[in-house]
Structure 1
Amino acid sequence: MRRSERKKTDPDLGIMAGQMLFAVQREMFETLALHGHPHLRPRHGAVLAYLDEEGSRATDLSQQSGQHKQVIGTLVDELVELGYVRREPDPQDRRAKLIVPTPLGLDEMRRSDAIVADIERRHAEAVGEDVYTVFKQAFRQIVHLQRTHPPASAD
């Protein structure tokens, strides 16, 4: 059997995770565009998916998303230009800045949370609440294991 055929009939974890990510992103950003957010792109999720209403530090966004701090800085610049966030001094640390959502950013956050909740509700209805709960618990554990696994050494 050709590799491409095997990947179609028995996809590995990476392929399934990628297919799920791309399908969720497509639904998310198409729906957001219909509701007043046409300029957002999936890459902006590295900031917006983790942003707290009261603001977040770029280093925290970097850690949570798994993106380099420089990438987060570039994305924040784009989101500032688009009107979704602003930078403010961090009251806890004068050297740091908080990335704070604007009213437009808060609207996007509320809508994206609702979209994801709708997607999850749809999946839970399709496979059953109990099965979906067990799936999420197992998937959360697998994600943690993968994120904490040390990289292979180049021998």
Structure 2
Amino acid sequence: MRRSEQKRNNPDLGALTARLLFAVQRQLADSHARTKPRHGAVMAYLDEQGNRATELAELSGQHKQVIGTLVDELEALGLVTREPDPADRRAKLVVPTATGLAAMKAGDEAMAAVEQRLAGAIGHEDYLAFKRTLQRLAELSTPGDGAPD
């Protein structure tokens, strides 16, 4: 059997999670035409009052430099601004603009629709069990916890 056939018939965890991730990213990006799937690393974790870039990097699992580039792009799109952090004026917060807040709301609504569709496809209880299991696996795979990277 060819490797491609084997992978198609029995995909590994990386391939399965990548397929699901890419499908979800496409559906979420469609909810706001100006953003790209990669912008989810910021928009998915952004609080209304703002976050430091280091916090966004930690939450999303991305390098701080990547987050900086994404924030630059989102700032150019008018979705976020950088403002002084009231707790430490030397630090900056990434804060959503009114347009950014609307994009976050649209993303949340799109994500809810994706989850509803998936739950409908496999059943609500199975979907909740899948999410719990996926969360446990993600937590076990977090760098620095002794699990392989």
**TM class, shorter-chain normalised?**
over 0.9
Q: TM-score, normalised by structure 1?
A: 0.90
Structure 2 residue 111 is the aligned partner of structure 1 residue 111: no
Aligned letter for 2:67?
I
Structure 2 residue 12 is the aligned partner of structure 1 residue 12: yes
Count matched residues: 146
Aligned letter for 1:126?
A
Structure 2 residue 18 is the aligned partner of structure 1 residue 23: no
Aligned counterpart for 2:125 among listed residues 99, 121, 130: 130
In 2, Cα distance between the equivalents of 1:41 and 1:96?
A: 27
Cα displacement string for residues 33-76 of structure 1 (whole angstroms, at most 9, x for unaligned residues): 2xxxxx21111111111100110110000111111111111111
Cα displacement string for residues 15-41 of structure 1 (whole angstroms, at most 9, x for unaligned residues): 0000001111111212322xxxxx211
Shift in Å, 1:128: 1.2
Stretch deviating more after TM superposition (21-30 or 136-145): 21-30
Aligned letter for 1:98?
L
In 2, Cα distance between the equivalents of 1:71 and 1:6?
A: 34
Stretch deviating more after TM superposition (66-75 or 142-151): 142-151
8 Å CA contact 2:42–2:71 kept in 1: the answer is: yes
* 1:59-98 alignment runs, 5 A limit: 59-98=54-93
| Secondary structure of 1:56's aligned partner | coil
> Gaps (5+ residues) in structure 2?
none
Alpha-carbon RMSD: 1.1
